[in-house]
Amino acid sequence: MAHKFAEIAFTKAVKQVQSEQNRRVGYALMERDQDANYLLNQREANFIATRDSFYMASVSETNWPYVQHRGGPIGFLNVIDEQTIGFADYSGNRQYISTGNFRNNDRVSLFLMDYPSQTRLKILGRISIINNADTDTLMQLDSTDFRVSVEWGFIIQVEAFDWNCPKYITPRYTEDHIKNLIKPMQAENIALKATLAEYNVNQQHSTGEMLGDGSLKLIVSGVRQLASRVRAFELKDLHGNDLPEVSAGSHIQVPVKLANGKLEWRHYSICSNPSRRDIYEIAVLNEIDGKGGSKAIYQQYQLGLVVACRCPENYFHLQHQAHEAGAIAILIAGGIGITPIKAMAQSLQSKGIPLTIHYAGKNIEEMPFSDRLKKAFGNALSLYSSKENKRLNIKKILLSAGQSDIFYLCGPNRLIDAFIDEARKLNIHPDRLCFERFNAIIDVEAKPITVTLKQSGKVIQVKADETILDAMLAVDVTTIYSCKTGECRSCAVKILAGEVLHLDNALAKEEQNDQKLMCPCVSRAKTSALTLDI
């Protein structure tokens, strides 16, 4: 005997094609299985019991195949025993094509799909029709509470079955599945509304309550949940005026009051369409192990709150001149790094500039804006979910680009560093890689250093896992800074003694080589000590 499905499906013509495609050897081994795949075991029974639909094929008298959909409540397809399944047939469009075909040819093929988990089961069998006279069998087949008229039943003797690979199955979800997914967000939304019901916006306006001391006064006009740990905040001008114009890649500094009462600033990319002047939208990831900024925003940024922000800035520009000359934009985002990439994609699309988007995350449901991007960019968007074992192929992305195409990256340092390293190996000019980091780079080989601050009269010890800027701020040294990721040069300071390892993207190469300036937010010391003019 043999693998039953292979015995039926692998005809002479099929085997010939397998041979032509160099697939025959593997399938020949499959055929030598002993009496395989004709008795349903618990795995098949469990899978069948959780289906609410399937596709059924019959063969007509003119030798034409006919495929029809059958649906009903979960479990309407019954496993009667290890080689028999059956179902009650509910009233449909009354063409009776399948039923007529079965009277002439009892061969049937079923295709059972589980779209969310990308699984499918194929069943071959012989079918018999159960008419209304056999009430006992019909009652056994109609075991659900589905109150729809039953015309007759079908019993299928399973001849063979086989599981298909998940390739090219697009995940789709039922209404019940979606309801279960959004239950936590709905519960959180209810809690938010309860909090907002107690919040008196008019009282806040009358008392002039405001968070922050920036020059741009905005009001929180909208809050929505994008994923379980990502929340969007919509900010409008306090008096309803147009907001300052921004370009794609811009960020805004918003004030937060930490648990210790200290007021600090946090940078967030403006992820709303840059063409809009009525609102800025930021998306905030609730960082469980962070420094408390995102937690404070979640607690404090309620509807009606007035926040005095700093005006938007942009260190992550689109290279319009290159794109006008024909360069394609290749956008790469990791996790919450989608925030500036989304705005860039919308800006490029509005100008008719060709683009592709590569967006990676843990799972699709937790990747903000993935649904909107699918609708807006279609096949130009590629999603990579580690939950589904789909990962970015950095080398392939770099090699598939044209010689003048520009890459824009935003995401974790490890993602950006991997692209930079691979681009260097492939001799791709660094000017073609534009990126924005979430956090400062901490060199894995960094060592503790001593920094003398001449004007402040202080000598500070900088830990291996600490930036010089953070160490300066910790001892209340007054200094100008902004991005804290080496992109803006706001914190640049003169070097009086020592040698610096430059890790910023703001200073010109000539400035770095002269060893006269450094950005203490990211750069380190090659020597054990530095003296800075601050």
CATH 3.30.390.30 fits 320-437, yes or no: no
Q: Where in the chain is the domain with CATH 3.10.20.30?
A: 449-532
pLDDT computed for residue 261 by the predictor: 86
* Contact predicate 164/117, CB 8 Å: no
* Contact predicate 102/67, CB 8 Å: no
Fold for domain 449-532?
Ubiquitin-like (UB roll) (3.10.20)
Written as tens digits, the pLDDT of the chain (534 aa) is 578 898 899 999 999 998 998 888 878 877 776 778 899 999 999 999 999 999 999 999 999 999 999 888 888 899 999 999 999 887 766 788 999 999 999 999 999 999 988 899 999 999 999 887 677 777 778 766 665 667 788 999 999 999 987 778 888 888 888 888 888 888 888 877 766 655 544 444 444 568 999 999 999 999 999 999 999 999 999 888 999 999 999 999 999 998 888 888 899 999 999 999 999 999 999 988 777 889 999 999 999 999 999 999 998 999 999 999 999 999 999 999 999 999 999 999 999 999 999 999 999 989 999 999 999 999 999 999 999 899 999 999 999 999 999 999 999 989 998 999 999 999 999 889 999 887 666 665 678 999 999 998 999 999 888 889 889 988 888 887 777 777 777 788 999 999 988 888 878 888 888 888 998 888 888 888 999 999
Quick one: DSSP state of residue 466? Answer: S
**179-313 in CATH: which number?**
2.40.30.10
Q: Where in the chain is the domain with CATH 3.40.50.80?
A: 320-437
Domain 38-164, CATH among 2.60.40.10, 1.10.4160.10, 2.30.110.10, 2.102.10.10:
2.30.110.10
pLDDT computed for residue 169 by the predictor: 87
**Torsion on CA atoms 38, 43, 47, 49, rounded to nearest 10:** 90
Q: Where in the chain is the domain with CATH 2.30.110.10?
A: 38-164
Quick one: DSSP state of residue 337? Answer: G
Give the phi and the psi of residue 167 in degrees, each rounded to 5. Answer: -60, 135
pLDDT computed for residue 201 by the predictor: 45
Q: Where in the chain is the domain with CATH 2.40.30.10?
A: 179-313
pTM > 0.95: no
* Contact predicate 135/186, CB 8 Å: no
| pLDDT 10s digits, 69-80 | 988 888 889 999
Strand segments (E) across 286-441: 306-313, 329-334, 355-361, 381-385, 406-411, 433-437
* Contact predicate 454/532, CB 8 Å: yes
Tokens matching residue 251: 């960020």
pLDDT computed for residue 515 by the predictor: 82
* Contact predicate 275/246, CB 8 Å: no
pLDDT computed for residue 145 by the predictor: 62
